A and B are shown apart, each in its own frame.
Chain A
Amino acid sequence: MARLLETRGLTKRFGGLVANEEVSILLERGEIRGLIGPNGAGKTTFVNLVTGIHAPSAGDIRLDGESVLGLAPFEIARKGLLRTFQVCRLFGNLSVFENLLLPYMARGAKGSALDEGIGRARELLELTTLTRLAKLPAKGLSGGQRALLQVCCGFMIPELKCYVLDEPFAGINPVIKDSIIDLILHENRARGVSYLIVSHEMAVMRRLCSKITVMIEGRVVAEGPLEEIARRDDVITAYLGKALT
């Protein structure tokens, strides 16, 4: 399989704090990868580095074999690496429909491409049963609907190659959780979108991800199928604390 997203020795220091230390991850095309770790392990920092929100202190990030180091977040987005935010970043005063169209329009779509975008937005609304809310300002949505819409925004981009989802399932009801999972799998099968999913929901991770990366204190400590990882002592210790002996 071809390499899609690759980081080499990615390091980020905030003053004296090393949030990410020599993180090297290789994501293959079409892969759905989970990223887990206890709070403060540096998962969100890693997501921020990969998507250009923060500049790394050291290391390299490659998308499709091409370094995206030093590119602005919007340039990385236009290369097909999209993300969602843990704290939902929808545009509350824009309508649901406008929220979907914005990332599509940002690519400079004109003329017939525009109609295509509108059609695509309608399709996604249909798929997620949000159609009747299309004209509503996004701030009127429930937490779960917002999370769902946020994930949909990325699927608006035809060039989407790699989708980084930061805690897409946190605090969301099971019905919407299922429709997000269905959407992820659908886009994965239909057009080979790859994912890096940050989540604590092991049940979901088991359903979605063939391979899981574990981060603890800014470093990658384990990588492999969930069953294998769940048996490792260091992972259990980090999550649950040391067993009393």
Chain B
Amino acid sequence: MIFTSELFVQTLIAGVMIGVLYALMALGITFIYSIVKMINWAMGEFYMIGSYLQFILVVHLLGPEFWWVAVPLSALGVFLIGILLEPVLIKPMFVKALERRDDYATVVTIALLLLLRNLATALSGPYQRTPGSVLPTITIGPLPQDGARVAAFVLALVAIALFQFLIKRTWLGLALRAASQSRIGVQTSGVDVLRLDQLAFGIGVALAGLAGALLAPVFLVFPTDGVVTTVKGFEIIVIGGLGSIPGALVGGLMLGIVESLGAAFISSPYQNAYGFALVLLVLLLRPTGLFGERTRQA
């Protein structure tokens, strides 16, 4: 491989662009964890639902030129599915004080993962589909970039900015930030924490659904299309630290860049392995992740 600065810059840009979308996924995982205190292992399936919604809306309902209308609708659809599922699957674990809640959460969300994945296969078959993209290749500087990727990157940035606004500037955000620090404390302040759980779950899976909708034209749409992105999401969580929003963003960018550079300058078949190398490195140097804090158990 010949190293040129032009190629380097292009690879870097590609890495940053995909990194932001990975970050979206990681943000969803970390956000649900910080409020509900459980890992949602079915995140990839919500990504998958988002990609299918985008496909259906673009191909069958709205038409390809209205892909930008379809994106928020798909995310909204995933949000509503999350809001409907949470009271049935997650809430019962919190109404009564359960022992080993983490184990239950793991079993419940893995069961949900299997159900959704097989449901998608049953409904749509194992075929790989694509909603296509009407966006032309965009030239950034001297370098061409895939239009759908650029659009996904820009909209992901917008979504992250909106999310930050919600968390930092609104009353709901205040309650969410408080709940992430003490679930009991926030309840004795008069906040209905179970209601917050439902909203947090909905918002968290909507972030995954949004990533799915944005990446539908970039990657393909099929029943297990969320697997790779979910694995990356969890890699980012390890890199950035569980429960940290800046960690999810920085980790996402780092993972995207490392993968992209590795694929371009070392060997592209091993693209997915570079992320794991990064994970191992972080675990060696900072086991809590870059922004993670050691928790004290009272």
Chain A residues at the B interface, C-beta cutoff of 8 Å: 51, 53, 72-75, 77-78, 82-83, 85, 87, 89-94, 98, 101-103, 105-107, 153, 157
Contacts and interface: CB of A to CB of B under 8 A. Distances in A.
A132 to B, nearest CB: 22
Interface residues of B, number: 19
Main secondary structure of the interface of B (DSSP, over half): helix
Nearest to A92: B181
B148 to A, nearest CB: 38
Contacts of B261: none
Contact of B171 (A74, A103, A105): A105
For B175, B177, B187, the residue with the greatest tally of chain A CB atoms inside 10 Å of its CB is B187
B258 to A, nearest CB: 29
A78 B189 CA distance: 8
Contacts of A153: 189
Nearest to A84: B188
Contact of A89 (B174, B177, B188): B188
A91 B178 contact: yes
Contacts of B184: 53, 73, 89
Contacts of A98: 174
B185 A89 contact: yes
Contacts of B285: none
Nearest to B181: A91
B123 interface: no
A91 B177 contact: yes
A75 B193 CA distance: 11
B157 interface: no
Interface string B169-197: 00100110110011011111111111000
Contact of A51 (B181, B188, B191, B192): B188
19 contacts: A53-B184, A74-B192, A74-B193, A77-B187, A77-B189, A83-B188, A90-B185, A91-B178, A91-B181, A91-B185, A92-B181, A94-B174, A103-B189, A103-B190, A105-B171, A106-B186, A106-B189, A106-B190, A106-B191
Contact of A78 (B182, B185, B190, B298): B190
A85 B184 CA distance: 10
Given A87-B298, A98-B174, A105-B174, A74 B181 contact: no
